[in-house]
Structure 1
């Protein structure tokens, strides 16, 4: 059985579309379940779920209210409630192609496959701005935009680095997830940002270290809603700050709690290094690019330093960062 786990917070309208796309799969309804993990929503999330149960009575849809904030609590609550041997974690603002589950099942028929990611294409709310093209990176297999969790590695099934299995379309054997220790903290509310971790990245890094096989399955296709608010400089700036926090967390764990000097300019993988490679004909666009370059670099650096300072000043926070696992996913009270 495949367990689709959907942590959700105040996105009732997009959640409704996501659930419907899962219920309309070309796949036996007996072979999958849909778990809605409500992370403390104040919208009509439960009503949306109940409406879906009424509309699709043959599907196995279950609702759980999980008030502990953060994506980690939603993911791990889903793991504890899931009946399936294959766990598929998704965002609440995606829509799946009708052959999505069938493709996931087909890949996991190979017992060596432990993780699976798919093609994540955009569903833009409005026409994207021209500058967005700067943030699509080229890979040997295709292209991706990490800021918006978009990835297209072409039409061929292939083995990939597990770090390209992203959280909006993330499938893993339950046994493997448990062996790897589960997820790290992720998507923490702004006022609790010091508890932020590196989400699924810590897990996929460990999967690589263990030699687990990860595959890209192009038919495991989802469409990710990209709202107009996400196609703004402000959103990308926030995303860079968040990435800085995540990278600080990863560095501290990697160094086993020892702080070391980091060249913050070199440490910023994106967009700084990528933007430097772009050659534009328009001087005005070069100026805009360079301004974004500096703005986002500072945002990443601010996030990195924010987290480094917070951990240095609070021994309890260092203990939180260095925890072996987070199955007890309640946030500390200090």
Structure 2
């Protein structure tokens, strides 16, 4: 029997309770300009155990113009699902994304062109956040950054502060990722736990191991954020989860000071913002400050917990990485 051609790119998506979106993503992949014989999709079913597998049923109910494999990962969590898919991928490159993402038709081809032309480990594209249901609170820039990066370069640039990649729009060399280690499973979304930073830690760890990561703003996907994710309750939960995850990042990477912002000055600014926001009925400022207070408090509580457990952090990075200066 003839073996199928090894794909160039494996698109890995971990799905939990979003069956309709998975089918929409596969439709968008079928419209990609990258030749279909160069790609495959690996869909990881991360739903709870049970006899009904809606994700698998949604994928298998039609023929796709490229290979689509469905795997099951019983361990809950976005990182666990992605890791399962990356390990099973057959492509030289892995593109990770989310079920509710809508890529432009040239998305994959643009990422592949960038990674092969620049000879780097990974390339992240531009993620455009949309609010189809409106916003419960008028969002400040800091609040919009909770849903994804806001600032993007005009052309290819290193993924260093103030730019960062997002886990729903990232292409990387699979073998190198296996060598440096995949996504930490104590980071990233897990059910109702509002955790994140799994993509940030992964990229920082690769960079600090000597690999380069670029931003390619021409590789565009859109990401819908709905009204419940723009409420005070959401931002409090997101801030607390983010603080915990940044504290945990210290265990494996040297965290950029700009990504922490949990010292006395940040606390003082958050307290002033909270008082001013609610005193002068500036709800947006008040929500931003409340989120910062939740983030700072959770960060220090988690750092304290880790110290009690004897977990030693890596020292803070105070300078521009040498690898950042070497590109071009």
- Which TM-score band applies after superposition, normalised by the shorter structure? 0.7 to 0.9
CA distance in 1, matches of 2:181, 2:265: 30
Correspondence 1:45 to 2:40: no
**CA 1:119–1:307: 2 relative to 1, 3 Å:** same
Measured after TM superposition, the shift of residue 33 of structure 1 is 0.6
Q: TM-score, normalised by structure 2?
A: 0.77
Q: Displacement of 1:74 after TM fit?
A: 0.9
Segments of structure 1 that go 5 or more residues without pairing to the other structure are 137-144, 256-261, 323-334
Structure 1 residue 158, shift from structure 2 partner:
2.7
Q: Which runs of 4+ in 1 moved over 4 A?
A: 190-193, 252-255, 262-268, 312-315
Query: 1:5 offset after TM fit, Å?
Result: 0.4
- TM-score norm. by structure 1 comes to 0.76
Contact 1:198–1:249 (Cα < 8 Å) also in 2 = no
Structure holding more helix per residue: 1
Q: CA RMSD in A?
A: 3.3
1:65 matched to 2:75: no
C-alpha displacement of 1:132: 0.9
Which residue of structure 1 aligns with residue 183 of structure 2?
183
Query: Residues 258-301 of structure 1, C-alpha deviation per residue, up to 9 Å, x if partnerless?
Result: xxxx9644467xx959x96xx99xx845x434532442133113
CA–CA distance in 2 between the matches of 1:191 and 1:171? 27
Q: Secondary structure at the match of 1:109?
A: helix
Residues 160 and 214, structure 1, Cα contact 8 Å, conserved in 2: yes
Structure with a larger share of its residues in strand: 1
CA contact (8 A) 1:197 1:245 kept: no
| Distance change (3 Å), C-alpha of 1:60 and 1:299 | same
Task: Give the structure 1 partner of residue 306 of structure 2.
Answer: 311
Residue of structure 1 in register with 2:325 after alignment: none
Q: Please, which of 10, 24, 30 is the counterpart of residue 17 of structure 2? A: 10
**Aligned pair in 2 of structure 1 residues 171, 229: CA closer, same or farther (>3 Å)?**
same
Tell me, in whole angstroms, the C-alpha distance in 2 between the residues paired with 1:97 and 1:123.
Answer: 14
1:326 corresponds in structure 2 to none
8 Å contact kept, 2:137–2:230: no
Q: Paired residue for 2:291?
A: 296
Distance 2:264 2:177 in 1: 34
Matched residue, 2:165:
165
Deviations 1:125-152 (A, max 9, x none): 212356213426xxxxxxxx43112445
Partners of 2:102 and 2:222 within 8 A in 1: yes
Q: Tell me which moved more, 84-93 or 205-214.
A: 205-214
Aligned to 2:105: 98
SS at match of 1:125: coil
